[in-house]
Structure 1
Amino acid sequence: MSIPNSPDPSKSRLSDEAAHWCMRVHESDFGDQERERFDHWLASDPAHKREFDAMMEIWTLSEFLPTAPLPVPEPDTRRRSRRPLLAAALLALGLPLIGFIGWEQSWIPSSYQRYQSDASIHTVTLPDGSRVQLNLASSLSFANFKDRRSVTLNQGEAYFEVTHDANHPFIVNAGQGQIRVTGTHFNVWTYRDQVVVTLTEGSVKVINDRNRPDQAADLSPGMQASYDLRNNPPQISVASAATALAWRDGKLILDDLTLSDALPRINAYLNSPIRIADRNTAQLRIGGIYNTSEIAGLVQNLPKVLPVSLNRNDEGETVIRSNPRYAP
């Protein structure tokens, strides 16, 4: 995010909008209606996404800095209190002395990298030797601290093969929670506030709320933990590795799911999310194996395999509606 030599009102306004949305998406009261407005703002102009991504990078770094204990504030005050952190992160990164002190105190990382995949699966090797495979339209950042390795999965899905280091734990921040390991193989899927962790090797501790580390679940191979803002602690189930990792072969497996459960997995591959009209539609079931590069075609063909129709709402979004007189 560049800073011009002379004020540019349009640039300043765009930065303010990006900062506003950056703070709002991190608040617990960020609801579905506001999420729809944010999605519309993000998709309306490529410059909006570029500015928001730059603001998210600053936000990620600002969260590494310590904050003094404060009384519990009102919601609006809490949101405003994040603004100084954004400036503090930039200041700290620019001053070597503060940077050295920050490293010694495990506040500031010695290195920071950001990785992103767009239209193809992308495999990266992190500075610690760990390997990460990124699904389509996924992004993450890596920061190396004195006492830990910290990854933030900003969006999408990733499969981790973590280099073992018992004295330097590997922590993945996803949604409101964390996954903590020392060396293991696991998959993390995210969509908005939803997170699903599937373990294939080793062990991990899944925490669905970073502010409540006591609410945690320990996974062993073949297990899966899911959480969102409503789950406390994480929900545990037996995992199907073939289903969870099918994306690595370019496949999406829907194993007789309701549309309400399948839609987040479908929407993760679409530029604009599709909506469900009502409860009856949400209870319809769908199954099959699909190419992740052809999910838009799956949506268009839904009326051929389910008793539904596709329509546009006032915002131009695709809405799935069950046909009249159909009861699941």
Structure 2
Amino acid sequence: MWLLRQQDGWSTEDAAACEAWLQTDPAHRRAFDRLRDVCQTLAQLPADRVGQLRKQIAPPAVRVSPRPVGVRRQVSPKRRALPYALAALGLVAIVGGGGWLRWSHLQNQPIFVETYATARGQQLSVTLPDGSSLQLDTATTTAVSLYRHRREVRLLEGQALFTVTPDAAKPFEVDAGPLRATVVGTRFSVRHTHAGLGGDGVTVTVDEGRVHVSSRADTADGKAQPMVALNADESVHSDAAGRLGPRQALPARTAMLWREGRVNLNNVPLSQALAEFERYGDTRLRLDPAVAGLRISGSFELEQAGAFAKALPRVLPVRLRAREGATEIVPAN
């Protein structure tokens, strides 16, 4: 049913309803992806192979209900072709032989695979063959796989900005820990870190367009979590287990200040703030556990950890103490 709707053209509401159905049971997504891949593969069969399949697949019988004289039922070409594809599903294993299986396997292999990574303190911008671009922040690793019918990126660690070239026939998916962000064409960022701002979790922030965010983690009662649809200047965060928080309004520029070498701290624990600076290089700052929970706000240069430390005694009850080549941040008294 969902494939029929998709082929005939569907609305945003249809896409959301389909995603909700896919999340109710992992078997739904596997079956949907399998049928979609087969239908798309059949559409790319060479002409001689199509002729062979047509000879071996008889048109399915159709029961026609009586209708008033002069009323003609309109059936789209794509909808008319789908029964052949469904029939071919059962036929693939017996009529194709080894050649068909090899050809089908080839069609479902990625046509582009690459890994991009940055070291601590580095950033990197890359353009993919489809025209989409990635901007990687410090200590970030991504694995890119482009297929004939979809585009996939695994964000293994760090954060990146994705500017996606629109292509409705090839959804762009970013997997980060327990979350998946799916788009057709948009601009958004994904953060998947174990320290620093946000702690150990995943954050998706949209700059332009619309992004669907889903989690592979179930709720406490074993049900699939609902998909979250994000618009521009909206964000959602999950913990390390994939439990999604509420959708929040967040100016995208604030979440992407790292591209300008800055960070905006908004009432965050001092321990998290220092961990964020540490992601970009050795700060030589040491934090006394007694002041780790103090909260700090402000905008700072990520490569100026020393200036950040010097500002702390003016806004927090702390003092700086030099010790063994490092600077300790300790209680003022």
Q: CA deviation at 1:196?
A: 1.2
CA contact (8 A) 1:200 1:241 kept: yes
User: Could you say if the C-alpha distance between residues 200 and 304 of structure 1 is closer, same or farther in structure 2, counting changes exceeding 3 Å?
Assistant: same
- Where in structure 2 are the equivalents of 1:1-328 lying within 5 Å? 101-104=104-107, 106=108, 108-118=109-119, 119-192=121-194, 193-209=200-216, 214-230=225-241, 232-259=243-270, 261-270=272-281, 278=289, 281-295=291-305, 298-299=308-309, 302=312, 305-308=315-318, 322-323=331-332
Structure 2 unaligned residues grouped into runs of 5+: 1-33, 35-99, 195-199
Question: 2: distance between equivalents of 1:289 and 1:146?
Answer: 43
Question: 2: distance between equivalents of 1:265 and 1:143?
Answer: 29
User: Could you say if the C-alpha distance between residues 291 and 125 of structure 1 is closer, same or farther in structure 2, counting changes exceeding 3 Å?
Assistant: same
Percent identity, please. 32
User: Could you say if the C-alpha distance between residues 294 and 272 of structure 1 is closer, same or farther in structure 2, counting changes exceeding 3 Å?
Assistant: closer
User: Could you say if the C-alpha distance between residues 144 and 276 of structure 1 is closer, same or farther in structure 2, counting changes exceeding 3 Å?
Assistant: same
User: Could you say if the C-alpha distance between residues 120 and 230 of structure 1 is closer, same or farther in structure 2, counting changes exceeding 3 Å?
Assistant: closer
Tell me the secondary structure at the aligned position of residue 146 of structure 1.
coil
Question: 2: distance between equivalents of 1:269 and 1:311?
Answer: 23
Q: Which moved more, 1:167-176 or 1:295-304?
A: 295-304
Give per-residue Cα distances to partners, 1:223-249, cap 9 Å, x unaligned. Answer: 111112245234321102232111111
Tell me the secondary structure at the aligned position of residue 170 of structure 2.
coil
Give per-residue Cα distances to partners, 1:97-145, cap 9 Å, x unaligned. Answer: 99865443x4x42220112234443211012110111122322121012
Question: 2: distance between equivalents of 1:289 and 1:191?
Answer: 20
AA partner of residue 148 (structure 2): K
Q: CA deviation at 1:188?
A: 1.3
Q: CA deviation at 1:262?
A: 3.3
Question: 1: distance between equivalents of 2:272 and 2:167?
Answer: 37
CA contact (8 A) 1:103 1:110 kept: no
Q: CA deviation at 1:264?
A: 4.8
AA partner of residue 163 (structure 2): E
Once superposed, what is the RMSD of the aligned Cα atoms? 3.6
Q: CA deviation at 1:258?
A: 3.0
TM-score (normalised: structure 1): 0.57
Tell me the secondary structure at the aligned position of residue 235 of structure 1.
coil
Question: 2: distance between equivalents of 1:176 and 1:153?
Answer: 11
Tell me the secondary structure at the aligned position of residue 168 of structure 1.
coil
User: Could you say if the C-alpha distance between residues 204 and 276 of structure 1 is closer, same or farther in structure 2, counting changes exceeding 3 Å?
Assistant: farther
User: Could you say if the C-alpha distance between residues 272 and 295 of structure 1 is closer, same or farther in structure 2, counting changes exceeding 3 Å?
Assistant: closer
Q: CA deviation at 1:207?
A: 1.9
Q: Which moved more, 1:123-132 or 1:265-274?
A: 265-274
Over 6 Å off, 4+ runs: 210-213, 272-276
Q: CA deviation at 1:322?
A: 4.1
Q: Which moved more, 1:234-243 or 1:303-312?
A: 303-312
CA contact (8 A) 2:187 2:207 kept: yes
CA contact (8 A) 2:217 2:243 kept: no
> With CA pairs under 8 Å and 6+ residues apart, which has the higher RCO, 1 or 2?
2
Structure 1 unaligned residues grouped into runs of 5+: 1-65, 67-96
CA contact (8 A) 1:123 1:134 kept: yes
CA contact (8 A) 2:283 2:305 kept: no
AA partner of residue 127 (structure 1): P
User: Could you say if the C-alpha distance between residues 117 and 194 of structure 1 is closer, same or farther in structure 2, counting changes exceeding 3 Å?
Assistant: same
Q: CA deviation at 1:173?
A: 1.1
Q: How many residues align?
A: 224
Q: Which moved more, 1:137-146 or 1:164-173?
A: 137-146
User: Could you say if the C-alpha distance between residues 120 and 275 of structure 1 is closer, same or farther in structure 2, counting changes exceeding 3 Å?
Assistant: same
TM-score (normalised: structure 2): 0.56
